[in-house]
Homo-oligomer: A and B are copies of this chain.
Amino acid sequence: MSVICLSGGVGGSRFANGLQSLLPSGDLRVIVNTGDDFQLHGLYICPDIDSVLYSLAAVSDAERGWGRANETWQCLDVLSDLGQPDWFRLGDKDLAIHIVRTNQLRLGMSLKEVIDNFCVRLGVPTSIIPMTEDAVMTFLHTDSGLMDFQEFFVKRRCQPTVQGVFYKNIENADLHVKAFEAMQDSSLEAIFIAPSNPFLSIDPILSLPGMRELLSKRRVPCVAISPLVGGRAVKGPLGEMLDSLKGSRLPNVFVEHYSGLIDGLILDESDVEYASSIKIPTHFCSTLMRDQEAKTGLALSSMQFASRLHV
Contact = CB atoms under 8 A, between A and B. Distances in A.
Interface residues of A, number: 31
Contacts of A117: 82-83
B79 A92 contact: no
The main secondary structure of chain A at its interface with chain B is helix
Number of copies: 2
A186 interface: no
A66 interface: no
Contacts of A285: none
Interface stretch (A7-15, A94-102, A198-206): A94-102
Contacts of A25: none
A71 to B, nearest CB: 8
Contact of A42 (B72, B74, B106): B106
A122 B83 CA distance: 10
A77 interface: yes
Given A78-B96, A82-B118, A83-B117, 7 more contacts: A72-B92, A75-B75, A79-B100, A82-B96, A82-B122, A92-B92, A95-B99
